[in-house]
Structure 1
Amino acid sequence: DLEFIDNPKAKRYIRSLPYSPGMSLSRLYPGANVLAIDLLQKMLVFDPSKRISVTEALQHPYMAALYDPNANPQAQVPIDFDVDEDLGEEMIREMMWNEMLHYHPQTSTLNTEL
């Protein structure tokens, strides 16, 4: 049931771990809201294809008081987080510095050798 893991080394490592049945969240958090426990259980499923989606989680009854689908419509185009290139440490540092400058321009006078 680990077909979703592409890395053979990671798959081998997970298979080497001893079986653990886990612990009931309602036992671990006896005073917690039943709907909160239900949502957490659905979010913490190991296999991503069986895990609750973000949209489903937002529409879960536990989130009813916090989420209004009319005020927060779903994106029309999915966001692609895949990075097609190896940026390298220096490029990542520069990108982080530029992002910080965007929100804190007063720091531009600081030493950039950090």
Structure 2
Amino acid sequence: MFGQELRTPVDLVFGAPPKPEVEGGHEMDYLRRLQERLQVAHVFSCQAQASSGARQKRTYDTRCWGQDFTPGDRVWIYCPSQTKGMSSKLRSHWQGPGEILQRLG
């Protein structure tokens, strides 16, 4: 539609499809250098995205603490259910208190 090849998310993950080599003399040098710079920028951005994702996961995992439950602890149980004719937004989805009987894993 705009005279350009469509870029899709697949292109961002796997890179652009291979293009045929452009024939021409020194007047095509700018095009070749531009294509090389775009390829380098694509590789750099993929590496930066991967390292950023790993860093964000590591940071999240250091602040994320789960709670250990032992038999005999009293807890509330999340049990979402729908009742015909009643809005689920107005219901409490928590039941209890319940008691931990045993730890499975």
The TM tier, using the shorter chain, reads under 0.3
**Rg bigger for which structure?**
2
After TM superposition, the score normalised by the length of structure 2 is 0.20
After TM superposition, the score normalised by the length of structure 1 is 0.19
Q: Which has the higher strand share?
A: 2
Larger relative contact order (CA 8 Å, sep ≥ 6):
2
